[in-house]
């Protein structure tokens, strides 16, 4: 994508975000939006994802909402699991850092996966190197050599929806 086209796209995205935030079509809001969008276009141009225009797809927004619902469900389940572990007399935890392989391709998808994992109590994304995430897990109950099983237990529930949103 050409440099000028990229800047125009960044401007359009920032202007649309401004208009969504102010939720007003009066002239002051529009002029302020143009000024702010131009200013930030020069600051953040190149920081937005390369194919940012694909985020305007209604199908991707639908899958983003599905991902949000899936994430909320697993946050509740993980909270109950951590609550059980805290209230259990023997405190059944075995913390450790595990490797989690992902099949997601884009950096945005991997970032959202890492954040989804971190938002789920009992797990904390520590690092991403290539297609591998390193995750601190509250109870490493799996064989550490079985990366596929660990990957499914931690990340598999999020990858399907994130793939439809980002890849």
Residue 106's nearest CA partner among 46, 164, 41 is 164
* More confidently predicted of 56 and 26: 26
- Ordered strands of the 123-129 beta sheet: 96-101, 132-137, 123-129
pLDDT digits (tens, 9 = 90+) for 22-42: 988 899 999 999 999 999 888
Asked if 105 and 162 touch (Cβ cutoff 8 Å), the reply is no
**DSSP for residue 53:** G
pLDDT at 148 over 70: yes
pLDDT in tens, 60-99: 889 999 999 999 999 999 999 999 988 988 888 889 899 9
Local confidence band at 46 (pLDDT 50, 70, 90 cut-offs): low
Listed in order, strand segments (DSSP E) in the chain are 96-101, 123-129, 132-137
pLDDT at 58: 85
Q: What is the dihedral of CA 20, 25, 29, 33, to 10 degrees?
A: 50
pLDDT of the residue at 31? 93
Across the range 12-23, mean pLDDT stands at: 90
**Helix pair 157-166, 107-119: axis angle to 10 deg:** 150
Give the integer Cα–Cα distance in Å for 110 and 13: 22
Q: Find all residues with CB under 8 Å of 148, minimum gap 6, and list them.
A: 101
The fraction of the chain above a pLDDT of 90, given in percent, is: 51
Which tokens hold the place of 65? 């909402």
Range with the lowest mean pLDDT among 15-19, 24-28, 38-42, 45-49? 45-49
């Amino acid at each position: 994508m050409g440099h000028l086209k990229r800047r125009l796209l960044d401007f359009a995205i920032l202007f649309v975000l401004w208009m969504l935030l102010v939720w007003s079509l009066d002239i002051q809001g529009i002029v302020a939006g143009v000024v702010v969008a131009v200013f930030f276009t020069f600051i953040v141009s190149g920081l937005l994802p390369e194919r940012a225009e694909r985020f305007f797809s209604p199908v991707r927004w639908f899958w983003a909402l599905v991902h949000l619902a899936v994430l909320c469900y697993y946050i509740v389940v993980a909270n109950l699991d951590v609550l059980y572990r805290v209230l259990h007399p023997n405190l059944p935890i075995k913390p450790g850092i595990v490797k989690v392989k992902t099949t997601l391709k884009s950096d945005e998808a991997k970032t959202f996966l890492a954040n989804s994992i971190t938002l789920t109590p009992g797990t904390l994304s520590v690092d991403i190197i290539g297609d591998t995430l390193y995750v601190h897990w509250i109870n490493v109950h799996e064989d550490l050599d079985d990366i596929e099983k660990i990957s499914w237990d931690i990340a598999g529930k999020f990858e399907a929806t994130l793939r439809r949103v980002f890849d």
